[in-house]
Amino acid sequence: MQEFVVDAGSDGKSLVRVVLARYPHLKVGQVHKSLRKKDIRVNGVRCKTDQPVFSGDRVAVYLSDDVLAGSVDEGAGRDVASSPYQIIYTDSKLLVVNKNTGVTVHQAGGRRKQGPFLIDLLRHDLEDQQLELCHRLDRQTGGLLLVARQAIISQAVRELIRQGLLLRRYRCLVRGTPIAGKTVRSADGELFQELTAWLEKDPSRSHVYIHDEKQDGDLPIITRYRILRTFPASNPAQEEITELEVELVTGRTHQIRAHLAHLGHPLPGDSKYGRNRYNRLFQGKEGPLKGQQLFATQLVFLPTMKGPLAYLAGRTFDIKPNYDWTGADQ
């Protein structure tokens, strides 16, 4: 058990928010579970639900010192260091989750995939079977996902994406330096190069093909990118590596990976749309490069959005990419 006094800077904030700020290694689900078990007291009174706290209140948290210090993830059976996700924001309607590379978000397509699945972990850890994914990420793509607490919120997020009022941006490393595309201004005023093409999906092989001209069954794709930095040709391939920020206008399967590879700029580590002979030239932090170097790094809720999530208008959530390539640290 540990106890602390609420300071003036936390006056009027929610109990859950204050506890998480005091113990940053805790997860939101752990705090809510502690409330349900009456393991948190304010001024000696057991609390069952979240509530405002005020300057001078004494908060006692009845969890072990190891859990509060972040060395053990109580109830989840996992070390914190190996946790497959982190919750970076939560409220009564949705969560913003940072998914680790190598975690499958859900089971789909009737194929057996290696678990555990992210959505099942979240439902278990937060004790909420109503949680729904609002969109998806590939297994080997890490980064930000929106998870809704109710179906109506999941639908609202998808509608925001469809209307272009929720921008999804990624950062990745690519072979060489792209020059293709036309300059356009994104909805938040940022300049990007815009690429268009057509995508053919082969579900039987979990593979897509990119065409410059439309063929029967193709779907249109729009991918935007801008160059963030370029690494000199010091790798064994003697080619530049470029870091891009990518914005998805359409969100098709494997769109970023396949579209950039089609233009001659595959992502290092991508064995599906790149070449393993090329991938083996790069050193990862613990040996061979692990997966494609691609992360969902930013979610932008535009100021003009309305509806049940209007309170998030103007908010941006972002993270830094955790590239495995050691050269990205320079």
Tell me if the bond preceding 178 is cis, omega within 30° of 0. no
Query: Which pLDDT value is given to residue 125?
Result: 85
User: Are 248 and 289 members of one domain?
Assistant: yes
Q: Given the structure tokens 């050193």, which residue do they identify?
A: 283
Q: Which of 301, 324, 307, 322 is nearest to 89 (CA)?
A: 301
Tell me whether residue 79 is in a domain: no
Cα separation, 242 vs 265, in Å, equals 9
pLDDT tens-digit map of 243-263: 999 999 998 999 999 999 999
Output 72 or 313, whichever has higher pLDDT.
313
Residue 80 burial (10 A CB sphere; 0-12, 13-18, 19+): middle
Domain boundary among 38, 69, 100: 69
- CATH code of the domain covering residue 63: 3.10.290.10
Q: Which amino acid is at 295?
A: F
User: Are 97 and 222 members of one domain?
Assistant: yes
- With a cut of 60, say whether residue 74 has pLDDT above it: no
Q: How confident is the model at residue 176 (pLDDT cuts 50, 70, 90)?
A: very high
User: Are 154 and 265 members of one domain?
Assistant: yes
Find out whether 219 and 199 touch, Cβ atoms under 8 Å.
Answer: yes
Q: Which of 198, 324, 194 is nearest to 270 (CA)?
A: 324
pLDDT tens-digit map of 259-297: 999 999 999 999 999 988 888 888 888 888 888 999 999
Tell me whether residue 286 is in a domain: yes
User: Are 244 and 205 members of one domain?
Assistant: yes
Q: Which amino acid is at 132?
A: E
User: Are 61 and 148 members of one domain?
Assistant: no
Cα separation, 109 vs 139, in Å, equals 14
Q: How confident is the model at residue 77 (pLDDT cuts 50, 70, 90)?
A: very low
User: Are 63 and 92 members of one domain?
Assistant: no
Tally Cβ neighbours within 10 Å of residue 329.
7
Q: How confident is the model at residue 73 (pLDDT cuts 50, 70, 90)?
A: low
pTM: 0.76
Q: How many domains does the chain have?
A: 2
Output 7 or 82, whichever has higher pLDDT.
7
Cα separation, 16 vs 33, in Å, equals 11
Tell me whether residue 76 is in a domain: no
Tell me whether residue 281 is in a domain: yes
Average pLDDT value for residue range 128-153: 94
User: Are 30 and 163 members of one domain?
Assistant: no
Q: SS3 for 42-101, per residue?
A: ECCEECCCCCECCCCCEEEECCCHHHHHCCCECCCCECHHHCCEEEEEECCCEEEEEECC
Give the domain range for residue 190.
85-318
Task: DSSP for 259-291, please give it.
Answer: HHHHTT-PPTT-TTTS-HHHHTTSEETTEE--S
Tell me whether residue 329 is in a domain: no
